[in-house]
Structure 1
């Protein structure tokens, strides 16, 4: 979330690289395999719904936060 905040501030323009598949790839590679598979499904759906555009970094952040909440839900 800190990176997303810095990206939105606009002071670190190089962070826009994270809005590309090449930029986000090394980050995705660090996720557990199951999450990587879910991400592939999620970005594939996003591309279909958005005329082939790769999802922005904010979409990835929301995906990770949502998955973290699911996995850390004490009632599950």
Structure 2
């Protein structure tokens, strides 16, 4: 799975038994965060690298991606 938005790239870098691990990178291929399954919350969550800065546009892209991947997981499309 790879998805490219205006500011961010979402690239699958691994997986566990039933879930994915996704790297969030800027357009220069620098990793800014990881999206992975958070069992206590029972959904995908983002884990930011330290010293990263996001504006509202980037956060909108992240929110849209999280909503999409959580819906796919719930619907069993992973």
User: Per the shorter chain, which TM-score range?
Assistant: 0.3 to 0.5
Larger radius of gyration: 1
Structure showing the higher helix proportion among its residues:
1
